[in-house]
Amino acid sequence: MTATARAQKFSPIAAPDALEDSIDRATDALLALGKSDGHWCFELEADCTIPAEYVLMRHYRDEPIDGVLEGKIAVYLRRVQGVHGGWPLFKDGAFNISASVKAYFALKMIGDRLDAPHMARARAAILAHGGAATSNVFTRALLALYGEIPWRGVPVMPAEIMLLPKWFPFHLDKVSYWARTVLVPLLVLMAKKPRAVNRLDVHIAELFTTPPDEVRVWPKGAHQTFPWTAIFGAIDKLLHVVEPYFPKRSRDASIVEAERWTTKRLNGVDGLGAIFPAMVNSLLMYEALGVSSSDPRVVVAREAIERLLVVTDTQAYCQPCVSPVWDTALVCHALLEVGGREAQARARRALDWLAPLQILDVSGDWAARRPDVRPGGWAFQYANAHYPDVDDTAVVVAAMDRVARADGNNPYATRIARGREWVEGVQSRNGGWGAFDADNTYHYLNHIPFADHGALLDPPTADVSARCVSMLAQLGDRMETSESLQRGVDYLIADQMKDGSWFGRWGANYIYGTWSSLSALNAAGLAHDHDSCRRAVAWLASIQNPDGGWGEDLDSYKLDYRGHERAPSTASQTAWALLGLMAAGEVDHPSIARGVAYLQQTQAEHGLWEEARFTATGFPRVFYLRYHGYGKIFPLWALARYRNLTRGDSKRVQFGL
């Protein structure tokens, strides 16, 4: 009987010894996946656009054709094609025009025949949705580099942006870290307008309903509204006319500054911003500037991209980035909840691996808003010194504190103090926290034509803010004495949705945000009978699936969201709901027993949980993630917490997470 079938044959929660067996098997399996130096790093999968762009990057540069690798990438791209003929942004998702154009282009470049059934279905689907001209800005920029569309099909972002004063309405400091790292090298490409080598001379004219040279109106983002669209649209039209006449001196100076900015943040083999799009743009920027292929900057930029590949015997894909710090910190929390000598020892070893990755000597881009704050955060990736992650830092610090409590000594005291100092220092004025920057709230910028993705900014969000509140409270802060904690709690309460849930920016979606917020409010000492907690508990209980689990689709990020829509249960989302309910003091709630039973019944023979669905978010509505570790970490964490609360002296969660 499959795990899904077992879940559908719901039965009451198993006996305590069966619960212990579930925990033991999951713990053993999770420990076996650790690296030899003590850390964990699971695969991080996005949609088809990343592997497709990887293929197109190789042909753009005229790299030697690796038929074996391209063949494996083609297998992956064909496998994730949707039943609608195109490609979705997540498993079983709706057709997406930009993903479909890139995947089709890559498969055609690899050598798939146009009359192959999957190519014919894809082509028909793309044309039925308006053709390649309706793709988003980043896709159109790629097509312009290949000469498939004219550059007037891409909003103007002049390189002179690099020279703008801080007071100007648009400045690099006013957009998110990911926008900066992707945009700066792209400014050079947009100024130089190089052309792909494309030695195979592959083109996709068949994907346009109107010849690109005849297209007069290019699409905008669904979130972009009047009057901003009219204002910024008029500015863009003007820039298209006047940009060719910008003075050569300022253009040259701008390009020099963009190259300097990029090189300063190149980040070795971990790459610019440690994210794939920025890495590729930096590589192509150096080539557009005539930098030799043997130059160390080019060599290291190319190596950074290659390190993102996941290659198996049968298929291959490219990750958008890697997540070792995040994965390792979450595993630590799960193992500390499990308890026992081996789990505690492995958590301590993992934290010893994490400790030296703390960034203490680089004041990154975040310092533009907080120049007087000392660095002290952790990045999401192996290295990303200019861009420490607030969420990661709070989770690492909380794990270190928990180990210190268990051991009776605190070898991490200095690191905890510096991490806390940095987190407090980057709190935004409204009391919340963004993921990488403080006060990144220039919302009008999401209406410029370039920002059709709607993700130009990094404003405070409930999930990240909740993690910071959890950390501060676990470290001993109280609302009566800590202004930072009180402001964080006030932010969370004010940010709660009318239905009782909280929005999840980095995890899917309201289940994730609600787990995060309930954990924080519990840690901060908010009474469990507080209205915010009661409404959240009622919401979680109301959306539980008949099989005992919880599920939420990524379509919940749609602009016209009107409330929860049932979706298949997943292990990670079930675990988040359970952890949230337990944080609210509801360990004896009937929904808890049913959720625990769901996790036990869907546990695989190997001890962990299979989770094919995407349950995390890069950018709402445009880019989603599947953390391969989530179905391995969170269910174990939830089961262990349930055991501890039902067998311990207190039914109140004692930790921030």
Q: Is residue 652 part of a domain?
A: no
Length of the chain: 657
Q: d(Cα 628, Cα 319) in Å, to the nearest integer?
A: 11
Q: How far apart are CA 30 and CA 33, in angstroms?
A: 5
Question: Binning pLDDT at 50, 70 and 90, where does residue 12 land?
Answer: very low
Q: Indicate if the pLDDT at residue 628 is higher than 90.
A: yes
> What was the pLDDT predicted at 13?
52
Which of 257, 290, 318 marks a domain boundary? Answer: 318
Domain total in the chain? 2
Quote the tokens at residue 225.
């509204």
User: For every residue of 403-454, which 3-state class applies, written as one string?
Assistant: HHHHHCCCCCHHHHHHHHHHHHHCCCCCCCECCCCCCCCCHHHHHCHHHCCC
Tokens of 499: 């239905």
Q: Among this protein's residues, is 391 annotated catalytic?
A: yes
pLDDT tens by residue, 183-236: 999 999 999 999 999 999 999 999 999 999 998 888 888 888 889 888 989 998
- Is residue 656 assigned to a domain? no
Is residue 64 a part of any domain in this protein? yes
pLDDT of residue 220: 86
Question: Do 560 and 636 share a structural domain?
Answer: yes
Provide the domain limits for residue 229: 45-318
Token reading at 559: 């602009």
Stated pTM of the model:
0.96
Please name which of 362, 370, 359 lies closest in space to residue 439, comparing C-alpha atoms. Answer: 370
**Among the three residues 318, 334, 355, which one is the final residue of a domain in this structure?**
318
Q: Does the pLDDT of residue 10 top 70, yes or no?
A: no
Residue 531 has pLDDT above 70, yes or no: yes
Say if residue 67 is in the same domain as residue 100. yes
Give ∠ CA 576-581-584 in degrees, rounded to 5. Answer: 130
Q: Are residues 329 and 285 in the same domain?
A: no
Average pLDDT over residues 576-585: 98
Whether residue 657 is contained in a domain is answered as no
**Helix or strand or coil: residue 563?**
coil
CA angle, 33 then 36 then 37, to 5° = 120
pLDDT of 643 above 60: yes
Q: Which residue(s) pair with 570 in the sheet?
A: 550
Give the active site residue among 365, 389, 391, 553: 391
CATH number of the domain within which 581 lies? 1.50.10.20
The confidence score (pLDDT) of residue 338 equals 98
Predicted confidence at residue 434, as pLDDT, reads 98
- Model confidence at 14, pLDDT cuts 50, 70, 90, reads low
Per-residue model confidence (pLDDT) at position 218: 84
pLDDT of residue 303: 98
Same domain, 308 and 363: no
Angle at which helices 630-647 and 16-32 cross, to 10°: 140
49 and 22 co-located in one domain? no
Percentage of the chain lying above the pLDDT 90 cut: 92
What's the pLDDT tens digit per position in 443-500? 999 999 998 989 999 999 999 999 999 999 999 999 999 999 999 999 999 999 999 9
Residue 297 belongs to a domain:
yes
* pLDDT at res. 73: 98
Please give the C-alpha separations between residue 196 and each of 34, 114, 213, 511, 553, in angstroms, as whole numbers.
Answer: 41, 22, 18, 44, 38
Q: Which residues lie below 8 Å from residue 68, measured CB to CB, with a gap of 6+?
A: none
CA dist 179 to 40, 225, 445, 457, Å? Answer: 28, 21, 11, 8
Query: Does 120 lie in the same domain as 23?
Result: no
Residues 6+ positions from 577 with CB-CB distance below 8 Å: 511, 514, 515, 540, 544, 550, 591, 595
Say if residue 354 is in the same domain as residue 383.
yes
What CA–CA distance (Å, rounded) separates 158 from 243?
A: 7
pLDDT the model gives residue 9: 46
Rounded Cα–Cα distance for residues 328 and 309 (Å)? 20
Task: Give the whole-angstrom CA distance, residue 339 versus residue 347.
Answer: 10
User: If you search the block for the tokens 């089961």, which residue do you land on?
Assistant: 639
88 and 119 belong to one structural domain: yes
Q: What is the pLDDT of residue 217?
A: 83
- List residues bridging with 625 in a β-sheet: 616
Q: Are residues 351 and 286 in the same domain?
A: no
For residues 441 and 495, the answer to whether their CB atoms sit within 8 Å is no
CB of 423 within 8 A of CB of 375? no
In a shared domain, residues 249 and 295:
yes
CB 394 within 8 A of CB 467: yes
- Let me know whether 385 and 278 are in one domain: no
The 3-class SS string of 175-223 reads CCHHHHHHHHHHHHHHHHCCCCCCCCCCCCHHHCCCCHHHCCCCCCCCC
Let me know if residue 281 belongs to a domain: yes
User: To which H or E segment does residue 310 belong?
Assistant: strand 309-311
pLDDT for 216: 84
* Residues 331 and 252 placed together within one structural domain of the fold: no
pLDDT of 507 above 80: yes
Q: How many CB atoms lie within 10 A of CB 517?
A: 32
Span of 142-156, 272-286, 367-381, 394-408 with lowest mean pLDDT: 394-408
In angstroms, the CA 476 to CA 524 distance is 9
pLDDT for the residue numbered 8: 47
Q: Which of 318, 347, 371 is the last residue of a domain?
A: 318
Whether 146 is in a domain gets the answer: yes
d(CA 85, CA 206): 16
In a domain, 654, yes or no: no
